[in-house]
Structure 1
């Protein structure tokens, strides 16, 4: 079984929450268009001025998504 990788896009500033929510919509659209199976797409508010959008994919799909969408960072998903 492949590891699950959480690809993360950081949003900062007073509009971080709305920006991350909007970005998650585009992550879902990308996954559907490119037939990338996800284990989750969503957002998290880390502080009032820092939110993230994320996509969890199997390790085998990580390079495809990384090269196309250029996340700021990644970590192994739980």
Structure 2
């Protein structure tokens, strides 16, 4: 198992911000939108399973949901473009 944190791209940051209704967000396509709903609804066991296929998106979603500065960090990434 890899312990490295995936790099979160500007697009992923914007999509996650949109999901949580935060400034700087951008609506993704319908597949990504539904995937984010699944990640948001998942318990930690299932979120980790999804991380295997979508490491960047799961990392960004969990940061936004659980980290005190998660939204701020995503906004900084989104503004970097």
TM-score normalized by the length of structure 1: 0.27
Considering fraction of residues, name the structure with more helix: 2
Instruction: Tell which has more relative contact order, 1 or 2 (C-alpha 8 A, sep 6+).
Output: 1
TM-score normalized by the length of structure 2: 0.26
